[in-house]
């Protein structure tokens, strides 16, 4: 994918925003998952996937040919139980351990409004020497005291998440998606991601819009508009949930979730 200089600048801007070393930008949010997961996982990978993961994640894992095991929604304990059983079964069937184990979750689940129990999944990842993929499509720019997503919300170290994915269509009102992580990961994806190498580069107008949105959220425009909008979204989310609960509706998700 041929890109403009401002796209590379945006990639570093996004990496800095989420607290990672580097990032790549892709022209389509759905494709950021479905076309990058086959480069991250393969037939020698054991994947633990939340039962309510988005269709783009489901498709990406299907295309990867990885061994996929589904665990109960947002249940880190069940994830670890399934992981250990599947790991033992994999060895028994193949005579060797999988080359890697990948846990795939979302920051905020788009239909249920559930905020992922990130600290618990990080613990599971570390105990089992697995990798962690977090889809921040609905949480980036909308959750956490600085609007930096579920990692910011829980106060976790972003370096504890191996693959941070997000879309640029919601909080940034534009198009495309990104993946952030270590320089090693992003360097690998620059050479092996189908969507990054063969997709069309984002237009400069969209890149400029996203970049300016990031500047506003971070207060780099010299105003407090970004911070005020993040705080207002949290207040409005809590208020709206409270009002419709009083009307007798059954509400999914957590109080702080804007979904």
Question: From the CB of residue 81, how many other CB atoms can be counted at a distance below 10 Å?
Answer: 14
Supply the pLDDT for residue 3: 64
Beta strands in the chain (DSSP E): 22-26, 45-50, 67-71, 100-106, 131-135, 163-167, 177-181
- Please give the chain's pLDDT, 259 residues, in tens: 556 788 999 999 999 999 999 999 999 999 999 999 999 999 999 999 999 999 999 999 999 999 999 999 999 999 999 999 999 999 999 999 999 999 999 999 998 999 999 999 999 999 999 999 999 999 999 999 999 999 999 999 999 999 999 999 998 989 999 999 999 999 999 999 999 888 888 889 999 999 999 999 999 999 999 999 999 999 999 999 999 999 999 888 888 998 8
Whether residue 189 contacts residue 230, with contact meaning beta carbons closer than 8 Å, is answered with no
Give the pTM: 0.94
Whether residue 196 contacts residue 187, with contact meaning beta carbons closer than 8 Å, is answered with no
Whether residue 152 contacts residue 144, with contact meaning beta carbons closer than 8 Å, is answered with yes
Q: Whole-angstrom Cα distance, residue 256 to residue 259?
A: 9
Q: Which two tokens stand for residue 117?
A: 């129990």
Supply the pLDDT for residue 173: 86
* C-alpha closest to that of 242 among 169, 98, 234: 234
Supply the pLDDT for residue 147: 94
Supply the pLDDT for residue 202: 87
* Radius of gyration from C-alpha coordinates of the chain: 18
Supply the pLDDT for residue 114: 96
Q: Whole-angstrom Cα distance, residue 35 to residue 189?
A: 11
Supply the pLDDT for residue 136: 97
């Amino acid at each position: 994918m041929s890109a403009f200089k401002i796209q590379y600048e945006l990639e570093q801007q996004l990496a800095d925003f989420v607290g990672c070393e580097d990032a790549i930008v892709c022209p389509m949010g759905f494709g950021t998952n479905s076309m990058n997961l086959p480069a991250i996982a393969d037939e020698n990978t054991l994947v633990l996937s939340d039962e309510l993961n988005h269709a783009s994640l489901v498709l990406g894992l299907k295309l990867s040919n990885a061994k996929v095991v589904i665990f109960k929604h947002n249940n880190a304990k069940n994830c670890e139980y399934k992981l250990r059983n599947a790991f033992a079964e994999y060895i028994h069937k193949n005579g060797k351990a999988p080359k890697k184990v990948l846990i795939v979750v979302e920051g905020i689940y788009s239909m249920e409004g559930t905020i992922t129990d990130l600290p618990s999944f990080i613990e599971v990842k570390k105990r089992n020497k697995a990798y962690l993929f977090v889809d921040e499509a609905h949480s980036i720019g909308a959750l956490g005291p600085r609007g930096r997503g579920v990692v910011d919300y829980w106060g976790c170290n972003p370096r504890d998440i191996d693959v941070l994915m997000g879309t640029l269509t919601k909080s940034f009102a534009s198009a495309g998606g990104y993946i952030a992580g270590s320089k090693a990961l992003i360097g690998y994806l620059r050479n092996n991601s189908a969507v990054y190498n063969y997709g069309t580069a984002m237009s400069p107008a969209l890149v400029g819009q996203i970049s300016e949105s990031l500047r506003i959220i971070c207060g780099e425009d010299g105003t407090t508009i970004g911070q005020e909008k993040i705080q207002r979204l949290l207040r409005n989310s809590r208020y709206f949930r409270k009002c419709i609960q009083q009307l007798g509706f059954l509400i999914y998700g957590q109080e702080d979730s804007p979904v």
